[in-house]
Structure 1
C-alpha cells in the first residue's frame, strides 16, 4: 500500500475496507483487544505487511461502527505489542519485524505472560505512587514482622478465598516466594535423613531443596489422574521399614501440575487424603495454577483442612517480581513451627514489593491483572495448538506438556532446539527416581509466558514445529 512512506494513489478506500472489515469478527473479548488480535494475526499471516499504512482511527471507527475510544485503545495495545509504529504526520504503519539476531526464544521458564490489555509500566507507577501516599517511606524501608502482620495476612486470606473459602488470617504465613515456603515446610515437618514423597515428574525446586537440607526424595507411581493411592500407601510402608528414613510429608501439585499440566480429579484427591490420614502423612499442596483451571476441583486443603499445608504464590499468577507467597496452615502449632523455620533463613519478605502486592489485592488490581494474564495465557495456548498441532491440545495455564515422537529423545530435542535459538525444558529435568520397569517419559515442557512479544513467541513455536517434523536420519549438508 505504500511507497517510501507515501500512500499509493491507486489504493482506494474500498480496498482497505475489505481488509479491515472483519477486524472484530473473531474472538469474544473486549472489542479493542479483538482489534489488536486482528492486527497480530494479519501480520503473522502476511495480510498486513511491514511498512503498510494503517487506516486513520476515525475512518476505521466508522467502518467498524464503534466509537473512537475503542479503536484508540486497540491501537495502543497493538503498539504495546510492537505491531504498529506512528510516524508523525505520515500516519501509523505496520512495524518492521524486530531483529532476532542473537535473541533466544525462551520456552523453558515458567512465568506468567504480560497481561493482555494492561500497561504494566503505568500500573506500576500508579501503584507505587498510591503506596507512597498511604505509607511512610521509612516504614517501607525498615524491618517488618516475619511471616506477615495482621493486614498482610488479611490480604492473603482475601486472595485465597476463591480456592479455600473464608479462612482465618491467623492461619497464614506470608513468605518471600514459594521456594522459601517449601524450605520452611521441609524443616518444620521432617528431620535429617527422613523421606518426602512426590510424583516421579516434579517441580525441580523440590529435590534441590531436599538435597540441600539433607532429606531424601522417594517417588510414588502415577497414572493419568495423578498419584496412585495404593502406591502411596505402599511407599509409606516401605519408608517405615527403613528405620530413620520414615516418610512424614507428601508433596503434591494437583492442579495443572508442573510439568505435565494434568489436573487431579476430586475422586482421586479424596482417595489420597484417606491414605494420608491412615499413614499419618502431612500433605504440602503447592497450588500456584488453580485460578487458571476452568472448573478446577476443590483444593485438598479445602477438602481436609487439618491434613494439608496450602501454598499459593503470586509469582505464577501475576509476576515473578512480586516475591509474595501465602501459606495456609492447618493449626496453631504447625503455624508456629513453619514460622520459626522460615525465620532461620529469611527474616521477612521485601517490604516495598510485598506492600505493593497486598495493596493490589485489597483494591482489586491483582484480580484485574490476573484476568489479563489468564486471557493472554489462553491466547498463547491457542497459538501453540495452531503451531504444534493436535499433540499440543488446547490447555489452560502458562505451560503445556508435549509428548515427543520416538525419533526425538527429549534431551537431544532440547539440544537441537538450543542450536535453533529456542530454550525448552526436557522431561529429564523433572524426572526423579523413575520406575525402571517402565519406559522413561519422552516429552518437553513448553512454557508460554517468558517471551513478552506474541510475534516472537509465534515465530519460535513455528521453528519448534519445523524441528519436530525434521528427519533426524538425513545427513547434514554443509554449504560454504
Structure 2
C-alpha cells in the first residue's frame, strides 16, 4: 500500500460519513499534523481507488472536495500535489482582515468623533422624543428633504422639494423601483459587472437582468441601443461613479450617449450614485442629461457609514416621487425619524461634509498602500475609492485566489458575485475600509502581494 495513505483505510472503513468527504477531511488532517506538506505528490485517482478499495468516482469526488477547500492542486500531465503556502507576513495579533464588505474607512479623528457624539446627543436633547417615536408621512419632513437637497446639490443643483424623498437606505429604493418599473419576467438593463444587491432584488422579484458589456468608459452604448430596439427593457440601472466592483467612472461622452439612447426610447434611468460625492471632480450626472427620465439616488452608506441607513432620491417629477413614496411605504413604512433627524443635523451643521472629507483623506492613504503593494499587478482604483479591482493572471483562478486568502484570514470577493452575464473575468474586488486599521490594511495588502508573487500551483511560473 502507498505509504501516505496507509492510515486512511481503517478510518474510511470505520466511518459512516460519505467516503468522498472523509477523504478530503483526512487530507486536511494530515496537512495540519505535518504528515503531508507542500508539494507532496498524491497518488493518481486509479491508484488511490485501488489501494483504498473505493470506486474511481468516489476518489474523484474526494479530490474535487479537497481542491474546493484549497488543500490540493491538480494539473494534467503533472499529477496532484498538496498546495503550498505563501511566505507572507502574518496579520497582527493573529486577527483577520475583512476585505469583502465595501464599508467606508473609519477615520481615527478624535475631534471629529467627539463632534459626531455631541451632535447625536443634541438631537435627543433638542427634540420632542415622542415626535421621533411616532409614524410620519413617508419621505421625511420638509426640513429632512431640504437637508437632502443640500447634500445632493453638488451633483443635482436644480432639485425641487416635491421631487425629493428621504428613504431607509439605497437598497430599499432599488427594490421599490424595480418592483414599480418592471413586472415579473420583464427586463432591466444593467452593467455586466454590478452591485450584487441588484442581482438579489431581481431574483426576489422575478425581474430579468440584461447585461451590457463594458469597456474602459463604461457600458457600451451600442449594446444598450440594441437592447432597446429588440428587447424593450423597462429601465436602465447604472452605478456610474467608482463602479462597484470595477471602480470605473463612466466618462462624460459615454454618459451623454446612454442618456441620448434612453431619451430616444423613453427608458427610465436608475442612477445609483452611492459613491458620487467621493471624487472632488466628476462628469455631470445622467439626471442632469435626462432629468425627466432619471431617478437619482445617493445616501450615507459610502460617505458616513452603512449603519445610518438614510438615502435621498430625486425623482423625475413630483408625481413620480409620490408613486415611489407609495411603493416604499408599502415595503418599508418609513425611514426612521431618529436617523432622519441625525442625518439632517449632520448635513446642516457641516458634520457630514467633514466626515466625507475625512473618508476621502483616509481612502487616499489606503490607496497609496495598495499601489505600493499591488500596483505592479494591474490593480485598478482611483485615489478616492476605498475598494479596488484586481485582475488575476493565469496562475490563479478567482475562486482559488479568494478561497486561499480566506484560509489566511483575508476576505476578498471573486468577480462572479458581480457578474450578470455569466462570464466573469478572472478578478477580485478588495475593500480597504471598515473597522480595519491602517496597519491591518497594510499587512493584508502585503499578504495579498506575497500570494501573487508566490503562486501555490506546484509548477506555476513565479510572477
TM-score, structure 2 normalization: 0.77
Q: For residue 287 of structure 2, what is the aligned residue in structure 1?
A: 301
Change (3 A) 1:220 1:330: same
| Offset of residue 142 of structure 1 | 2.0
User: After superposition, where does 1:1-16 map in structure 2 within 5 Å?
Assistant: none
Q: 1:109-139, CA deviations, whole angstroms, 9 ceiling, x for partnerless residues?
A: 1011013534565234201221123211111
Q: Please say which of residues 138-147 and 304-313 is displaced more in the overlay.
A: 138-147
User: After superposition, where does 1:79-98 map in structure 2 within 5 Å?
Assistant: none
Q: For residue 433 of structure 1, what is the aligned residue in structure 2?
A: 421
Q: 1:272 aligns with which of 242, 258, 263?
A: 258
Q: For residue 299 of structure 2, what is the aligned residue in structure 1?
A: 313
| Offset of residue 237 of structure 1 | 2.4
User: After superposition, where does 1:191-202 map in structure 2 within 5 Å?
Assistant: 191-202=183-194
Q: For residue 446 of structure 1, what is the aligned residue in structure 2?
A: 430
Q: For residue 148 of structure 2, what is the aligned residue in structure 1?
A: 156
Q: Is the 8 A contact 2:92 2:440 kept in 1?
A: no
Q: 1:422 aligns with which of 405, 410, 424?
A: 410
Q: For residue 393 of structure 2, what is the aligned residue in structure 1?
A: 405
Q: For residue 70 of structure 2, what is the aligned residue in structure 1?
A: none
The CA distance in 2 between the partners of 1:310 and 1:118, in whole Å, is 34
Q: Is the 8 A contact 1:194 1:216 kept in 2?
A: yes
Q: For residue 34 of structure 1, what is the aligned residue in structure 2?
A: none
Q: Is the 8 A contact 2:235 2:269 kept in 1?
A: yes
Change (3 A) 1:394 1:228: closer
Q: For residue 469 of structure 1, what is the aligned residue in structure 2?
A: 453
The CA distance in 2 between the partners of 1:211 and 1:119, in whole Å, is 44
| Offset of residue 366 of structure 1 | 0.5
The answer to whether 1:181 aligns with 2:168 is no
The CA distance in 2 between the partners of 1:256 and 1:264, in whole Å, is 8
| Offset of residue 166 of structure 1 | 3.3
Q: For residue 13 of structure 1, what is the aligned residue in structure 2?
A: none
Q: Is the 8 A contact 1:116 1:372 kept in 2?
A: no
The CA distance in 1 between the partners of 2:118 and 2:275, in whole Å, is 27
Q: 1:375 aligns with which of 361, 382, 402?
A: 361
Q: Number of matched residues?
A: 369
| Offset of residue 147 of structure 1 | 1.5
The CA distance in 1 between the partners of 2:321 and 2:158, in whole Å, is 18
The answer to whether 1:333 aligns with 2:319 is yes
Aligned residue for 2:180, secondary structure, equals helix
The CA distance in 2 between the partners of 1:432 and 1:393, in whole Å, is 20
Q: For residue 202 of structure 2, what is the aligned residue in structure 1?
A: 210
The CA distance in 2 between the partners of 1:98 and 1:354, in whole Å, is 39
The CA distance in 1 between the partners of 2:319 and 2:266, in whole Å, is 16
The CA distance in 2 between the partners of 1:339 and 1:195, in whole Å, is 23
Change (3 A) 1:417 1:366: same
Q: Is the 8 A contact 2:145 2:166 kept in 1?
A: yes
Q: Is the 8 A contact 2:246 2:380 kept in 1?
A: no
Structure 2 unmatched ranges of 5 or more? 1-89
The CA distance in 2 between the partners of 1:394 and 1:182, in whole Å, is 25
Q: For residue 10 of structure 1, what is the aligned residue in structure 2?
A: none
Q: For residue 379 of structure 2, what is the aligned residue in structure 1?
A: 392
Aligned residue for 2:209, secondary structure, equals strand
| Offset of residue 393 of structure 1 | 5.2
The CA distance in 2 between the partners of 1:118 and 1:184, in whole Å, is 38
Q: Is the 8 A contact 2:256 2:289 kept in 1?
A: yes
Q: Is the 8 A contact 2:247 2:380 kept in 1?
A: no
Q: For residue 458 of structure 1, what is the aligned residue in structure 2?
A: 442
User: After superposition, where does 1:215-364 map in structure 2 within 5 Å?
Assistant: 215-240=207-232, 247-364=233-350
Q: 1:114 aligns with which of 106, 130, 133?
A: 106
| Offset of residue 320 of structure 1 | 0.8
Q: 1:298-356, CA deviations, whole angstroms, 9 ceiling, x for partnerless residues?
A: 11112221121001011111111111000100112211211111011101112212211
TM-score, structure 1 normalization: 0.74
